[in-house]
């Protein structure tokens, strides 16, 4: 059965066309309660919406054919229902808070219902109606219009700004930091950066923020280069970088830079007078080849490969000139030793590390290292013993360590400058204590410490051949030299100095005090 409702039944058409309003229970048909139209042999029903209403409007009508065709129509306006609160069970709706239904029922002939609209009702009936709550239209709110022009304020278009790509961010950072570095150089009348032969080999002391910008340029440029190459090319060409070392190994071993240097040396003028090296000097490739045992093809290949790293240049075909980097090969004996030590001792050792690990996976024995496989000393002697047997290799290693301390991050100031984080030896100095530099090469660290601390004594320990290659005297300052003792010692054996107040060991040493 249908829920109870109020209807208007009668034969007075004008009266039937008047609509009476009341709040009624929603018209709902269920399988157990047939509709009013089920009593007729030909029931018809329709549900539709009227666009003339600002809110959704629907009608459900049933018709019983007969001599006097009569029907009952139920008109409904229903507010959009907001989602039920979280605590409500699925599908349940609080009708008192979320719905309003106003039902208008009228009895009229089907022909009249299809061709005419309902009457608005009298003023008295309107007053009896309950005020309808405002419900926003589901079709959206439109701004008021005057003479066809909308009065609603325009809404600004929101533009989403995408962050720059990593490549753009790196390029911008490189530009910003480069401008900062160059501005500092200009403001302090320092030489502009270039590959020219007369450019200083090292940077002047930079303020902390400018030095950081310089480092950022280096790192950002490297990352930008990897991105520009892409993963495949980065791997393909990255594994070929050993060829750069190979070419530099040949150039350094045959003294190519020194050959160009000696061609322009004044008569009877010997190194280290490299300051008089003619700026912009050049030499034909054939003449340079005559000074070496290399054939012209291999010499040209090696030179042109290192040119890609800013070492040498070829201003004209077959003519070779110095750059700032290649000039160091002729001027700086410590740099020459550094390149020789790494290219001729460490580079071959690194090529045999895989063989060492494959043969001895534990990789714990000093006589089974890549160096031992490279120079056929496996289970015979460790690397330092091999260096000790060759005075020239020991000397080169010692000078290489001297060159290392001139590199960025390896400066002596990190040990000596207390304000910059260096160790404070004041107490040992006040007591006239002894400092032992284990693996101290030719004693350059102890020399710098002795210049700052006037009472300490120093013992420099290294391989016998390395100690023998140290300068004599070790320092021109007698007060410094007389407090430094050079001592041959194997740091894998028991320490022979027993009363030391401080010991500095190499990275693979046994003790640090």
The tens digit of pLDDT for each residue in 282-323 reads 888 888 888 888 888 999 999 999 999 999 999 999 999 899
Q: How far apart are CA 201 and CA 325, in angstroms?
A: 7
State the span(s) of the chain assigned CATH 1.10.10.10: 242-331
Which H helix or E strand runs over 128? Answer: helix 123-128
Confidence (pLDDT) at 9: 43
Q: Specify the domain boundaries for CATH 3.40.50.150 within the chain.
A: 424-504
Angstrom CA distances, 452 to 113, 238, 376, 417, 503, stand at: 113, 45, 44, 10, 18
pLDDT tens for each residue of 76-133: 555 444 455 555 444 444 444 444 443 444 444 444 444 444 444 555 555 555 555 5
User: For the domain bounded by 424-504, which CATH number is listed?
Assistant: 3.40.50.150
Q: Are 246 and 350 in contact (CB under 8 A)?
A: no
Structure tokens at 472: 């004599």
Cα–chain center distance at 420: 29
Q: What is the DSSP string of 354-401?
A: HHHHHH-TT---GGGSHHHHHTT-TTT--HHHHHHT-HHHHHHHHHHH
Distance of CA 62 to the CA centre of its chain: 73
What is d(CA 274, CA 263) in angstroms, rounded to the nearest whole number? 12
Q: Under CATH, which number does the domain 242-331 receive?
A: 1.10.10.10
Residue-wise pLDDT for 119-143, tens only, equals 445 555 555 555 555 555 444 444 4
Please tell me the distance from the alpha carbon of residue 42 to that of residue 29, in angstroms, as a whole number. Answer: 18
Question: In 3D, which of 509, 511, 508, 490 has the Cα closest to residue 500?
Answer: 511
DSSP code per residue over 320-338: EE--HHHHHHHH-HHHHHH
Full-model pTM:
0.58
pLDDT single digits (tens) 369-427: 999 999 999 999 999 889 888 888 988 998 898 888 776 677 777 788 887 778 899 99
* Angle value at C-alpha 208, between 166 and 328, nearest 5 degrees: 90
The confidence score (pLDDT) of residue 212 equals 94
CA-CA distance, 469 to 392, in Å (whole number)?
9
Cβ distance 23 to 101 under 8 Å? yes
Pair 460, 504: CB distance under 8 Å: no
d(CA 256, CA 249): 11
Task: Tell me the C-alpha distance between 211 and 172, whole Å.
Answer: 18
Q: What does the alpha-carbon distance between residue 489 and residue 170 come to, in Å, rounded to a whole number? A: 50
């Amino acid at each position: 059965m249908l829920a109870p409702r109020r209807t208007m039944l009668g034969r007075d058409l004008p009266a039937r066309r008047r609509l009476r309003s009341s709040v009624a229970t929603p018209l709902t048909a269920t399988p157990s309660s047939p509709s009013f139209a089920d009593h007729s042999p030909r029931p018809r029903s329709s549900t539709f919406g009227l666009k003339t209403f600002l809110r959704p409007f629907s009608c459900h009508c049933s018709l019983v054919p007969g001599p006097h065709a009569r029907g009952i129509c139920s008109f409904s306006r229903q507010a959009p229902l907001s989602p039920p609160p979280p605590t409500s069970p699925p599908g349940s709706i609080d009708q008192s808070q979320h719905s309003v239904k106003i039902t208008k029922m009228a009895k009229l002939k089907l022909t009249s219902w299809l061709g005419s609209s309902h009457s608005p009702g009298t003023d008295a009936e309107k007053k009896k109606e309950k005020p309808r709550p405002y419900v926003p239209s589901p079709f959206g709110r439109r701004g008021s219009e005057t003479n066809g022009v909308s009065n609603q304020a325009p809404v600004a278009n929101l533009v989403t700004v995408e962050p720059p790509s990593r490549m753009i961010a790196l390029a911008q950072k490189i530009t910003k930091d480069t401008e900062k570095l160059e501005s500092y150089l200009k403001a302090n009348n320092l030489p502009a950066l270039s590959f020219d032969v007369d450019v200083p080999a090292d940077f002047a002391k930079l303020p902390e923020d400018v030095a950081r910008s310089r480092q950022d340029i280096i790192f950002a440029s490297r990352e930008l280069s990897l991105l520009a190459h892409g993963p495949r090319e980065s791997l393909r060409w990255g594994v070929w970088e050993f060829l750069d070392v190979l070419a530099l190994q040949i150039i350094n071993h045959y003294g190519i830079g020194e050959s160009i240097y000696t061609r322009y040396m004044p008569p009877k003028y010997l190194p280290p007078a490299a300051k008089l090296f003619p700026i912009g000097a050049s030499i034909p490739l054939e003449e340079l080849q005559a000074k070496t045992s290399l054939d012209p093809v291999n010499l040209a290949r090696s030179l042109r490969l290192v040119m890609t790293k800013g070492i040498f240049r070829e201003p004209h075909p077959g003519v070779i000139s110095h750059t700032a980097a290649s000039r160091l090969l002729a001027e700086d004996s410590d740099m020459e030793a550094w390149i020789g030590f790494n290219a001729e001792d460490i580079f071959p050792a690194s090529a045999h590390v895989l063989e060492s690990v494959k043969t001895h996976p534990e990789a714990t024995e000093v006589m089974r290292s890549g160096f031992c496989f490279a120079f056929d000393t496996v289970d015979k002697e460790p690397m330092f013993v091999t260096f000790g047997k060759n005075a020239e290799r020991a000397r080169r290693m010692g000078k290489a360590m001297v060159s290392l301390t001139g590199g960025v991050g390896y400066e002596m100031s990190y040990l000596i400058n207390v304000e910059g984080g260096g160790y404070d030896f004041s107490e040992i100095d006040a007591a006239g204590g002894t400092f032992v530099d284990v693996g101290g090469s030719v004693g350059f660290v102890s020399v710098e410490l002795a210049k700052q601390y006037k009472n300490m004594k120093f013992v420099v320990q290294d391989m016998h051949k390395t100690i023998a290659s140290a300068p004599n005297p070790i320092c021109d300052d007698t007060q410094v030299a007389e407090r430094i003792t050079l001592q041959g010692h194997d740091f894998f054996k028991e320490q022979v100095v027993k009363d030391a107040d401080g010991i500095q060991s190499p990275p693979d040493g046994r003790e640090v005090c």
